[in-house]
Structures are given as structure tokens and as C-alpha cells.
């Protein structure tokens, strides 16, 4: 079966809404699993972000000993020095932070999800 990108996009949307595994979906469509994964990879590589959304943070007071299951933030001058952090959210959005990141900003980002 020969396929073009627009046809695979439609097929891929159908797969996402089907609730089936890739193997079962491909068997129903008479489509090779390896071809499915190759096209899926190509789609992901060519996808462009829909739009840029700037994130503006206002200064917020730190809560003493505020905690999160994966991160503990306490009051003080906590800074991550000259690092690069990248957060990938469940919807695929990526957020990169470079330089000094204070604890309040880090806490806010962690609580976005």
C-alpha cells in the first residue's frame, strides 16, 4: 500500500481515536506496523509548534516549606546556577529555561501540571 503524508495524517487521526493498539489497528487496516511507525516518526519530526505563547511570571511570595511530590521548595534565596532546564508537558509542549532560575519560578512551573 503506497501512502502520502496527508493520507497518513488521516489514518493516524483515525488510529488515535480508535483506542486500539498499533498492531491491532494496522491489522485492521492491512497496514505494516513498521511502515506505521516510520510515518509516525516522520510526522513528529515535521510538526511545527502551533504558536508561541509567552509566559509572563509575576513575583509571588514563597510559601514556607511548600512541597510537591517530586520537588521540595523552601523559603530562601534558592537559585539553580547557570543551568539549562527543559520541561516537557503531557501535551508535548516544551519549555526551556536558561541561566538563573529562582525557586518560586521553578515551583510555579512544576505546579502547572
Q: What is the pLDDT of residues 9-36, one digit of tens each?
A: 888 899 989 999 999 999 999 989 999 9
Rg (CA), the chain: 21
In a domain, 52, yes or no: no
What pLDDT was estimated at residue 82? 59
Q: Rounded CA gap, 49 and 32, in Å?
A: 29
Domain span holding position 84 = 66-110
Do residues 16 and 25 make contact, with C-beta atoms less than 8 angstroms apart?
A: no
Q: Rounded CA gap, 14 and 16, in Å?
A: 6
What pLDDT was estimated at residue 65? 45
The angle formed by the CA atoms of residues 19, 22 and 25, to the nearest 5 degrees, is 70
Mean pLDDT of the chain: 73
In a domain, 78, yes or no: yes
What pLDDT was estimated at residue 44? 81
How many other C-beta atoms lie within 10 A of the C-beta of residue 25?
19
Do residues 40 and 3 make contact, with C-beta atoms less than 8 angstroms apart?
A: no
How many domains in the chain? 2
pLDDT in tens, 92-110: 777 777 777 777 777 777 7
Q: Is 60 exceeded by the pLDDT of residue 69?
A: no
In a domain, 56, yes or no: no
In a domain, 51, yes or no: no
In a domain, 32, yes or no: yes
Percent of the chain with pLDDT over 90: 17
Q: Rounded CA gap, 42 and 4, in Å?
A: 11
Q: CA nearest 80: which of 112, 109, 105?
A: 105
Amino acid at each position: 500500500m503506497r501512502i502520502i503524508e496527508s493520507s497518513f495524517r488521516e489514518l493516524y487521526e483515525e488510529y488515535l481515536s480508535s483506542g486500539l493498539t498499533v498492531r491491532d489497528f494496522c491489522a485492521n487496516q492491512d497496514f505494516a506496523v513498521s511502515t506505521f511507525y516510520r510515518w509516525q516518526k516522520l510526522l513528529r519530526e515535521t510538526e511545527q509548534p502551533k504558536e508561541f505563547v509567552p509566559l509572563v511570571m509575576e513575583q509571588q511570595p514563597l510559601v514556607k516549606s511548600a512541597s510537591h511530590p517530586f520537588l521540595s521548595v523552601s523559603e530562601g534565596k534558592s537559585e539553580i546556577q547557570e543551568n539549562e532546564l527543559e520541561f516537557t508537558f503531557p501535551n508535548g509542549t516544551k519549555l526551556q529555561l536558561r541561566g538563573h532560575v529562582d525557586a518560586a519560578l521553578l515551583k510555579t512551573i512544576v505546579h502547572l501540571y
